[in-house]
């Protein structure tokens, strides 16, 4: 009887154990299914986030492209408007110049000195009092034999020939630049001058007060001026005197246009002028080859600059 009872108890325990095992299996299977479902949901969520980020990146790219296109359209519109303004200004300037020329033609002959000038004579002869003859120098070597690196080509022989022919005062002191010195390297108390100022345009010493004041008031070193500035100062002064006008900076700036050149010479640009109102001065050269290579230094003193103070001279 006891054996039967123990047997039944063991069977009941085994049945209960089997039930527990099945229950555990069911729970494990459910957990595994939940884990699989979570993993699938996580993957889908990540894919969804990737799609959202890709859409945002594409929207940002499109916006940047649209902004760039709009900026380009604005720039084109600005350039077009600027070009139209420049064209309008050029048209107004041309109309004003035509009106001024017409007015000058009406006044022609009424102002002393504006009557037609005789054209007889050979090249280099002065047509107005104050416009000089050209000095032909004999001591200049051929450029092919010289080094064109910005150094001066002036020599002692050229300077000794120039001094008497240009009528330089005996009290002046000159210095030939060394190979490394350039026009803007004049020592303190000295200034740079060019041979063509005296051979082509008849300048002498003391230098023109108009030239020195003009450069100082425009804050332009005299060494940076082209030969055209010198030519127009000399010729405009002669024309003004022939017409009975007072020659000053205001008159000179009214008939000329000072501009900065487009070419760099090492670390500086030169300044040049152009004449307005179709003013011409006869058969004189507009271009002088190699002029900028023939420069030398002169000491600043009463004999070289007159009454202009040394601290007022831009070298």
Q: Taking residues 275-304, report their average pLDDT.
A: 81
Q: What local confidence, expressed as pLDDT, does residue 117 receive? A: 38
Write out pLDDT tens, residues 164-186.
999 999 999 999 999 999 998 99
The full DSSP string for 165-197 is: HTT--TT--EEPPPTT--GGGPPTTEEEEETHH
- pTM of the full predicted structure? 0.57
pLDDT at 126: 43
d(CA 278, CA 135): 27
Q: Give 113: exposed, middle or buried? Use CB within 10 Å, 0-12, 13-18, 19+.
A: middle
Distance of CA 213 to the CA centre of its chain: 25
Amino acid 52: pLDDT: 82
pLDDT for 218: 85
**Cα(4)–Cα(289) distance, integer angstroms:** 138
* 162 within 8 A of 198, measured Cβ to Cβ: yes
Over the stretch 38-89, which tens digit does the pLDDT of each residue have? 666 666 667 777 778 887 888 888 888 888 777 777 766 766 666 666 666 6
Higher local confidence (pLDDT), 96 or 56 = 56
pLDDT tens digit string along 230-247? 888 888 888 888 888 888
Q: For 104-163, write each residue's pLDDT tens digit.
A: 666 554 444 433 433 333 344 445 666 777 887 775 666 666 777 888 999 999 999 999
């Amino acid at each position: 009887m006891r054996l039967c009872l123990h047997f039944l108890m063991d069977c009941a325990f085994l049945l209960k154990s089997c039930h527990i095992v099945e229950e555990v299996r069911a729970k494990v299977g459910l957990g595994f299914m939940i884990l699989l479902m979570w993993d699938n949901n996580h993957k889908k969520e990540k894919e969804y986030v990737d799609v959202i980020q890709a859409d945002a990146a594409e929207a940002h790219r499109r916006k940047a492209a649209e902004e760039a296109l709009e900026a380009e359209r604005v720039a084109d519109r600005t350039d077009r408007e600027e070009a139209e303004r420049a064209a309008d200004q050029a048209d107004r300037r041309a109309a004003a110049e035509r009106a001024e020329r017409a007015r000058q033609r009406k006044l022609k002959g009424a102002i002393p000195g504006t009557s037609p000038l005789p054209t007889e004579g050979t090249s280099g002869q002065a047509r107005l009092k104050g416009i000089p003859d050209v000095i032909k120098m004999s001591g200049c070597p051929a450029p092919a034999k010289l080094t064109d690196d910005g150094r001066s080509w002036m020599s002692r022989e050229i300077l000794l020939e120039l001094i008497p022919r240009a009528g330089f005062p005996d009290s002046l002191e000159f210095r030939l630049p060394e190979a490394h010195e350039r026009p803007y390297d004049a020592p303190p108390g000295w200034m740079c001058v060019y041979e063509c100022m005296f051979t082509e345009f008849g300048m002498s010493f003391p230098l023109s007060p108009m030239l020195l004041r003009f450069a100082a008031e425009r804050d332009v070193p005299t060494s940076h001026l082209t030969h055209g500035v010198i030519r127009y100062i000399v010729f405009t002064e002669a024309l003004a005197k022939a017409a009975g006008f007072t020659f000053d900076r205001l008159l000179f700036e009214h008939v000329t246009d000072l501009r900065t050149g487009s070419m760099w010479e090492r670390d500086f640009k030169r300044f040049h002028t152009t004449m307005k109102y179709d003013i011409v001065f006869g058969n004189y050269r507009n271009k002088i080859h190699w002029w900028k290579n023939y420069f030398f230094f002169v000491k600043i003193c009463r004999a070289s600059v007159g009454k202009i103070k040394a601290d007022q001279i831009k070298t």
